[in-house]
Structure 1
Amino acid sequence: MTLGDLMDTVQSPTATTIAVHSIRDAQVILYAVYCQRLPKISRRLSVRERQQIHSGSVFVWEERDAFADSSGEGITRWTDGRRWSPSRVRDEFLFYVEQLPDFDADPAMRQEILDSRLIKQTYSAFVNLPVGRRKWHLVAYHTDTTRDTLPQIQFHPILGPLRDNVPEGLFQTARVSKNHARSEPNGQGEQQPDHPQNTPAQLAAPSGSPSTSVTEAPGETVLPYTPDGKNGHSQGSYAQSQLSRRGDDLAPLIYMRASPYPPRHPIDKYALRSLDCRMRIL
């Protein structure tokens, strides 16, 4: 298969319409990838593949050594094309809040837009494979308004039966350190795969989850974070249900919720309302 053929092959998310509430949930997803029940992301996402990112999307990818040959398997860093806040640490997860450009809107519309921001949740672990020890990363997306409404692991047709079958010690959590490289300021959403910022400023933990500390980077403005609550295998209709509803003719959306039809961007709705009012005046 040529490079062009590979780029023409659209990578699906590892899982869709799912919430990751605990380290156990994350390791169940990793185990499904380990068993080749769910796909692993093998290269950076294309523009088309980034359009698949919405609340409930989960991606698992393998980190490639920065000094390895470029033809080697894995990804050097995760790229999703969005701008993110500095990382916050809770348990062994890192959380990032999507940063939006400036916009004008009435208070109600502004709040709706802010509530629609994606939150990125990441987890990293080492796994021993036949080819040696590798580092895997899980990236999950949700919003403040959808996190507690997304289906849980136990209801997933593939993940549910695996919940009690993950071998003890198969995945070793990659401990967070104090030397995390921040999200790139170029707006491309590129991030180094590990080393979170880890300093003792406290933030509230999400509702519906255990009360644990969340940390922010030194000298950074505190941003709101209080959420409410190439394998040959496919995920079947469950995994593809959301993707099948989004045609290639859709423009990229910053926010995509787990709903039967992708919602219109709140800024677009605000602009259409303004245009409608002007037409009536004329």
Structure 2
Amino acid sequence: MPDLDPAIARRMIDATAYIFDMDGTLVLGDAASGGHKALPGAADLLSTLRSRYTPFRVFTNGTAKPPSVYAASLRHAGLDVADHEMMTPSTSAAAWFVRKGIKRVRVLGLDGVQAPLIEAGIEVVGPSEMASNVEAVYTGWFREFTLPDLEMACRDVWDGAIVTTASNVPFFAALGGRAIGASFAINAMIRAMTGKQAKVLGKPSQNALHSGLALMNLPRSAARSTVIVGDDPALEMRMARVSGALGVAVTTGLNNAADFLACAPSQQADVILSGLEPIVKALS
């Protein structure tokens, strides 16, 4: 295993916090079982961070399940992740809606998408529910999506609701290859009908990063001393690049080293690793 550049290793050691992607970084999802399989080094890395009292959050861009259910699945896979250490885009979306004073949201998604919003006190309107005065449409994981859902969402937008989304990426890493991101397809249909581009409230938005820091009781200024680890240049690496965080790319998910090296400057990683073990070594 090659040694890390000393400057990179020092930033990992001195980091105020870590934010990890889930699929393709710590685990791979198993579509057949609905569970997860831990990737090499993941359990050791989280254990090492806990022993150093370094806070972390696991931030998946998926909204198929509530954060607590994802956390339980990770624990079943052998990772020490408490419920409060797990985030989804709906976690950061709920914080954004509250901050903006948005109280009535049509959610295109089921319990995994809706739960954090309901917990934040937001009135959630169901996908095809008749409703007026909807302030925002929010899209997430929703394979049950139907034409009536599209019609209701478009009517809200034509009446002035803003369009927001958990994620607008077409694929995510899973065992056996890539899986399609449902919200990407839904967003495309809404955009085609209304001309409105969805505002991303999950990764790579700065809203998502700031929500993660706030949940660790850290100020926004802590972003520059945070390490962001992930497998997607358009998500984790872009979020790190914009914020000044250390962006650590891993090739255990959707992309290989050549893919990361070919990215635009706005999506470049500070270091590309074949797995998590070099981080464990640096911290040990």
TM-score w.r.t. the length of structure 2 is 0.26
Larger Rg: 1
Specify which structure has the bigger relative contact order, considering alpha-carbon pairs within 8 angstroms and separated by 6 or more residues: 1
TM-score w.r.t. the length of structure 1 is 0.26
Query: Which protein has the bigger helix share?
Result: 2
